[in-house]
Amino acid sequence: MQDENFSLVITDLKMPGMSGMEVLKAIKVLQPEVPVIIITGFSTVDTAVEAMKNGAFDYIAKPFTPEQIVEKVRKALAQRAVLLENIFLKKELGEHHGFDLFVGESKEMQKVYRRIIQVAPTDSTVLITGESGTGKELVARAIHNNSHRRDNPFVAVDCTSLAETLLESELFGHIKGSFTRAIQTKTGLFKVADGGTLFLDEISNISLTTQAKLLRVLQEREITPIGGTQPVPIDIRLVAATNKNLRTLVSQGSFREDLFFRLNIIPIDLPPLRERKGDLPQLIGHFLTTFSEEMGKEIRGLAPDALALLEEYNFPGNVRELENIIERAVVLAEGDLIQKEDLELRVAGNETGGGLGGYVPQNVDELKETKRQIRERAVEPIEKAFVLQALKRNNWNITRAAEETGMLRPNFQALLKKLRISARNQMGN
């Protein structure tokens, strides 16, 4: 299944070498859209039911008639057709409008895709809710990229990162001299996003005063820069996101109810990953491919017990956490399979992490450093040989060497610099 595509798999449960359950799990990573029918004997009916939970299409108990199996195959292929259509819908969303592809075909995510397609063409305000790492920003961009505003700017503002006054001057702009640090007139992001989409991320973090101002902007569809007197009309589509429950904040008095209603015209709620585990295999497959390619490693997949570990995990950090776990695992993996030990999950009671014989990066910086070292060790010698040969063939003439390798001269020079090759030194040698 790594090399070829199949429409359907029929597998027995008890087999030498690899059980039908393991086959099923591997298939769900490699070609998740392929329906799997499990053949089971009387003694393994429980396992077959378990297999259904793991994404098998159906099971058939021995002994069965040809008619029975033909019927099941027919059904499975019909379902596959529907699924492929949905994948097509999703690709449509992605490829035509150039945003990072969504991965996952679960019912929950299909609802999200359908919503995006429905609301994108309108100018209605959208409120995206969901736990951290569930893909809120991805949705915001998808809405923009599928709207008639797609050729105008998509401006994202993280409302947490700025203090109140700064946020206001960022959003609405200010006139030169309107306050001490206003040395120059500044165009507000509302104006920068004119004709496009303004994405207010973590909207729950704005103060009550800024909330009042935002509400007025949404009602009047015009902004007055700080220190200014003339309101300027704006033409933006507002998309907001939050990982907090705004209703609760409203009842606690820290979020204005009228603003909440203005924002919540079209709600899109992103389900946490633990509630759509059916998407796991595909997401894992997606991130495995991405990171293996990025790091130039050939990773075939996950060892069965590693996969099982991920399936039990509840992902408090959702897709972003899964992404990080796989990235780290690809860095750490020594063979062509990710082992249980390469996954460092934050679960109490799980004895991963401690049992790692080698060095385990603890944070992003260390992870980057590890990646850099791996790159240095694996890729750089190859690059170096490649560059040196090109230079030698061209008598150390950088322009000609760059031309011969098909690289632009500045890129070629950047590569020389990175590899610490200096043409003059080499000539001297």
Residues in the site for Mg ion, rule: CB under 5 A? 137
- Shortest distance, position 135 Cβ to Mg ion, whole Å: 8
User: Among all chains, which residue has been given the structure tokens 């390619």?
Assistant: 293
User: Are 246 and 260 within 8 A, CB to CB?
Assistant: yes
Residue 281 interacts with, from Mg ion, ligand ATP, none (CB under 5-8 Å by kind): none
Give the residue with the Cβ less far from Mg ion, 137 or 269. Answer: 137
Site stretch for ligand ATP (CB under 6 A), options 99-107, 232-240, 337-345, 401-409? 99-107
User: Are 119 and 111 within 8 A, CB to CB?
Assistant: no
Radius of gyration over every alpha carbon of the chain, rounded to an integer in angstroms: 27
Q: Could you say which residues in the range 45-74 bind ligand ATP, by CB under 6 A? A: none
Report the alpha-carbon distance of residue 230 to residue 233 in Å, rounded: 10
Residue 216 interacts with, from Mg ion, ligand ATP, none (CB under 5-8 Å by kind): none
DSSP state at residue 129: E
**Taking CB positions, which residue lies at the least distance from ligand ATP?**
135
Residue 99 interacts with, from Mg ion, ligand ATP, none (CB under 5-8 Å by kind): none
Report the alpha-carbon distance of residue 387 to residue 394 in Å, rounded: 11
Q: Could you say which residues in the range 227-246 bind ligand ATP, by CB under 6 A? A: 243
Report the alpha-carbon distance of residue 379 to residue 239 in Å, rounded: 42
104 binds ligand ATP (CB under 6 A): yes
Site stretch for ligand ATP (CB under 6 A), options 54-62, 134-142, 145-153, 169-177? 134-142
User: Are 242 and 203 within 8 A, CB to CB?
Assistant: yes
User: Are 280 and 273 within 8 A, CB to CB?
Assistant: yes
94 binds ligand ATP (CB under 6 A): no
Letters for 306-345 (x = contact with ligand ATP by CB under 6 A, - = none) are: -------------xx--x----------------------
Q: How many CB atoms are closer than 10 A to CB 16?
A: 5
Strands 173-174 and 337-338: unpaired
Give the residue with the Cβ less far from ligand ATP, 224 or 282. Answer: 282
What does residue 159 show for φ and ψ, rounded to 5 degrees? -70, -10
What does residue 422 show for φ and ψ, rounded to 5 degrees? -120, 125
Q: Which of 95, 100, 123, 275 binds ligand ATP (CB under 6 A)?
A: 100
Residue 341 interacts with, from ligand ATP, Mg ion, none (CB under 5-8 Å by kind): none
Exposed/middle/buried for residue 229 (C-beta within 10 Å: 0-12, 13-18, 19+): exposed
Q: Which of 32, 130, 225, 278 binds ligand ATP (CB under 6 A)?
A: 130
Report the alpha-carbon distance of residue 99 to residue 320 in Å, rounded: 17
Site stretch for ligand ATP (CB under 6 A), options 5-13, 29-37, 136-144, 290-298? 136-144
User: Are 37 and 56 within 8 A, CB to CB?
Assistant: yes
Residue 104 interacts with, from Mg ion, ligand ATP, none (CB under 5-8 Å by kind): ligand ATP
Report the alpha-carbon distance of residue 37 to residue 24 in Å, rounded: 9
Q: Which of 57, 59, 99, 102 binds ligand ATP (CB under 6 A)?
A: 102
Give the residue with the Cβ less far from ligand ATP, 109 or 390. Answer: 109
Give the residue with the Cβ less far from Mg ion, 262 or 320. Answer: 320
Contact footprint for ligand ATP (CB under 6 A):
100, 102-104, 130, 132-138, 243, 319-320, 323
